[in-house]
């Protein structure tokens, strides 16, 4: 058998015309059932493997992918997501793939719906969405289903909405793991603290809520006598505001030496501990963003749990590309690894792509 199978070879094997083979390969109409069976048998007998990349390039059309994520500050988890999206767009530039990012305000249904309206107005071929509340997200995803637009969920998984795929950590398992790691160094403690960043009284993501459920589940199972104190800090406040709240907390609870936050802002406490020279307190947190890494190196953060935010952004766009452009089946659920970073290995952590 020749290395490269031509349409002419397939037609000869099947006893049909070249045009019939072309219509079968591209799933076009006007092929009789008898001719289709002949072509499909020839393809199987010849072990034909189509060059999907070449076929997609031949169409010479553009693809509009829309990415809906929360507004965020710089040097944060979401910036890593954005960098991954941009790299994926660059990777598939020859296929005229464009990935446009739309922002919404967390816990603001009107803002999310406005972003959804902007997305739909652009007539997207595919969508990546970080969900907000279940009902308002469903309102948007129902429209996507009606229009036949595939979408991927990022960060928080809502399987009832039937996304094409999901990328993110298993939040419950992540929180359970975080508790186990924290208690390796805090097993003799009688009190610990959970630091929460909130907006309008709500924790800033469903993922963080689920992590806390996993965390408390482990604590209830293995350390039920340990007292857990909650400290809520409103987001978008000046440093002095946070410093005052943290100072008051440690004055009122001098026996707390180990803390954890379920999000990417462990550096807020980490830098406070360094400025005030509190060497008897540490915090554990999430995400290998720059300020967290620096506190980890200096010892005010004990551990970071990394979840490859860059990889998530890259893979969401890649999955849309595979499903829409190459017509390939994709993995429906993609859990990110739960990786533990310390002073000793933080400098070896590298962004990777699937």
Give the DSSP per-residue string, 181-194: HHHHHHTT-SEEEE
Helix (H) or strand (E) holding 90: helix 77-91
- Angstrom distance (rounded) from CA 197 to CA 231: 9
Strands of the 63-70 sheet, one edge to the other: 97-104, 63-70, 126-129, 151-154, 165-168, 333-335
Helix axes 266-275 and 239-252, enclosed angle (nearest 10): 80
Q: What is the pLDDT of residues 163-181, one digit of tens each?
A: 999 999 999 999 999 999 9
Q: Are residues 30 and 121 in the same domain?
A: no
Q: Are residues 144 and 109 in the same domain?
A: yes
Q: What kind and span of H or E run contains 98?
A: strand 97-104
DSSP for residue 130: -
What is the Cα–Cα distance from 14 to 87, expressed in whole angstroms?
Answer: 43
CA distance 105 to 23: 47
> How many beta carbons lie within 10 A of that of residue 46, not counting itself?
15
The residue from 15, 30, 50 where one domain ends is 50
How many domains does the chain contain in total? Answer: 3
In a domain, 315, yes or no: yes
Task: Examine the domain organization and report whether 206 and 283 are in the same domain.
Answer: yes
Same domain, 30 and 106: no
Provide the pLDDT confidence category of residue 106 given band limits of 50, 70 and 90: confident
Residues 189 and 276 in one domain: yes
Within a 10 A sphere around the Cβ of 3, how many other Cβ atoms? 4
CATH number of the domain that 31 lies in?
1.10.260.40
CATH number at residue 246: 3.40.50.2300
Do 264 and 281 lie in one domain? The reply is: yes
* Residue 237 resides in a domain: yes
Helix, strand or coil, per DSSP, at residue 196 = strand
pLDDT of amino acid 8: 84
pLDDT, tens only, 217-236: 999 999 999 999 999 999 88
Cα gap 250→252, rounded to integer Å? 5
Q: Are 161 and 138 in contact (CB under 8 A)?
A: yes
Q: For residue 69, what are the β-bridge partners?
A: 103
Q: Are residues 165 and 175 in the same domain?
A: no
Residue 347, domain member (yes or no)? no
User: 50 pLDDT band (50/70/90 cuts)?
Assistant: low
297 and 327 belong to one structural domain: no
Q: Is 354 among the domain residues?
A: no
Q: Do residues 322 and 88 make contact, with C-beta atoms less than 8 angstroms apart?
A: no
Predicted TM-score of the model (pTM): 0.78
Is 282 found in the same domain as 315? no
Does residue 238 lie within any of the structural domains?
Answer: yes
Q: Do 192 and 300 belong together in one domain?
A: yes
Using DSSP's 3-state secondary structure scheme, residue 22 falls into helix
Asked if the structure places residue 144 within a domain, the reply is yes
Tokens, residue 146: 């009606």
Say if residue 67 is in the same domain as residue 148: yes
Q: Are 140 and 116 in contact (CB under 8 A)?
A: yes
The boundaries of the domain holding residue 250 are: 171-306
* Residue 250 pLDDT exceeds 70: yes
In a domain, 260, yes or no: yes
* CA–CA distance, 168 with 140 (Å, rounded to integer): 20
Say if 344 falls within a structural domain: no
Look at residue 28 in the predicted model and tell me its pLDDT. Answer: 76
Q: Which two tokens stand for residue 177?
A: 């793991």
User: How sure is the predictor about 186, in pLDDT bands with cuts at 50, 70 and 90?
Assistant: very high
Residues 126, 128, 133, CA angle at the centre, nearest 5°? 125
- pLDDT tier, 205 (very low <50, low <70, confident <90, very high otherwise): confident
């Amino acid at each position: 058998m020749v290395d490269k199978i031509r349409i002419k070879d397939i037609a000869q094997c099947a006893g049909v015309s070249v045009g019939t083979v072309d219509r079968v390969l591209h799933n076009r109409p006007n092929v009789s059932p008898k001719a289709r069976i002949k072509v499909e048998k020839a393809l199987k007998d010849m072990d034909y493997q189509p060059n999907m990349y070449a076929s997609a390039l031949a169409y010479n059309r553009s693809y509009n992918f829309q990415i809906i994520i929360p507004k965020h500050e710089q040097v944060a988890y979401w910036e890593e997501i954005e960098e991954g999206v941009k790299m994926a767009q660059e990777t598939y530039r020859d296929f005229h793939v464009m990935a446009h990012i739309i922002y919404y305000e967390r816990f603001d249904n009107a803002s999310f719906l406005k972003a959804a309206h902007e997305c739909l107005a652009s007539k997207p071929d595919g969508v990546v969405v970080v969900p907000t509340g279940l009902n308002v997200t469903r309102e948007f995803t129902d429209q996507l289903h009606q229009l036949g637009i595939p979408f991927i969920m990022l960060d928080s998984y809502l399987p009832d909405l039937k996304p094409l795929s999901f990328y993110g950590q298993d939040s419950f398992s992540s929180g359970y793991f975080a508790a186990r790691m924290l208690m390796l160094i805090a097993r003799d403690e009688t009190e610990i603290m959970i630091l929460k960043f909130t907006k309008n009284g709500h924790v800033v993501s469903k993922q963080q809520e689920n992590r806390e459920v996993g965390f408390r589940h482990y604590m209830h199972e293995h350390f039920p006598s340990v007292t857990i104190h909650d400290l809520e800090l409103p987001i978008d406040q000046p440093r002095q505001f946070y410093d005052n709240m943290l100072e008051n907390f440690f004055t009122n609870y001098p026996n707390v030496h180990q803390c954890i936050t379920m999000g990417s802002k462990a550096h807020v406490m980490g830098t406070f501990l360094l400025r005030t020279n509190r060497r008897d307190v540490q915090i554990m947190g999430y995400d290998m963003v720059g300020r967290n890494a620096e506190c980890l190196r200096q010892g005010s953060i004990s551990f970071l749990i990394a979840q490859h935010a860059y990889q998530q952004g890259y893979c969401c766009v890649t999955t849309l590309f595979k499903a829409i452009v190459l017509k390939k089946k994709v993995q429906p659920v993609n859990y990110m690894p739960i990786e533990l970073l310390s002073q000793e290995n933080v400098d070896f952590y590298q962004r990777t792509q699937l």
